[in-house]
Amino acid sequence: MDVTTWYLEQTSPSDLRPGRKPALPAEIVRAEVPSPEFGRFLYTAVGGDWQWTNRLPWTWKQWKDWLDRPGVETWVAWTRGTPAGYAELVARDGAVEITSFGLLPYAIGQGLGGWLLGEAAARAWDIASRWPGLEPARRVWVHTCSLDGPAALANYRARGFRVYDEKLNAPGDEDEGETPGPWPGAGPRT
């Protein structure tokens, strides 16, 4: 199966086009305590149907080490006390990557995706204000591929991200086999 990966970026905070606040009650909160259990839950709950497999073999310590690094932030959208989606930011050398972004299946189509992405990009642009000694962001970037949700690429573009590279069957693409679902043996949700 051919997989296309798109690399997108913003090079100025003025590139950002925020999404509309959803009609349903929702809030976005930073998960300030590095929690491997919560990080893995979000990763599998959001990515289980979209071929997110790279981190599945990670140990608790690998998750902890990843989440505990300066400049790594997890922003979670909540609706009525339930996680609806998340964005993970990783700052390095003046660039902030949105390494993970998406919604739990129940939240798709509720008007949350554009709003969460807009807020995540805004938090990427001001990340240095929360991390003393971190270089201010000069670029915010993300990648998505043809295995991700059908609205992903359009959402990134609508928020002001521009494609700067495109690759077919890029090395490091997620596994193209059967989707693992949110937990071992679950399989994809239909």
Q: What is the CATH number of the domain that holds 149?
A: 3.40.630.30
Is 180 inside a domain boundary? no
Across residues 9-32, what is the average pLDDT? 95
Q: Note whether residue 67 is domain-resident.
A: yes
Q: Say if residue 22's pLDDT is above 70.
A: yes
Is 100 among the domain residues? yes
Note the pLDDT of residue 180. Answer: 57
Average pLDDT over residues 97-112: 92
Query: Could you say which DSSP state residue 167 is in?
Result: E
Find the length of the chain: 190
Structure tokens at 127: 């990340």
Strand partners, 92: 95
| CB count in 10 Å sphere of residue 126 | 12
Q: Is residue 162 over pLDDT 60?
A: yes
For the chain, the domain total comes to: 1
pLDDT tens column, 140-153: 999 998 887 888 99
Q: Which residue in 68, 40, 66 sits closest to 53, CA to CA?
A: 40
Q: Which domain holds residue 135?
A: 4-168
Q: Has residue 51 been placed in a domain?
A: yes
Are 52 and 59 contacting, i.e. CB atoms less than 8 angstroms apart? no
What average pLDDT is seen over the chain?
A: 88
In a domain, 25, yes or no: yes
Name the percent of the chain lying above pLDDT 70: 88
Residue 154 lies in a domain: yes
Structural domain includes residue 185: no
Quickly list H helices, 1-133.
36-47, 60-67, 113-125
User: Is residue 190 situated within a structural domain?
Assistant: no
Asked if 67 contacts 34 with a C-beta cutoff of 8 angstroms, the reply is yes
Write down the pLDDT at residue 78. 96
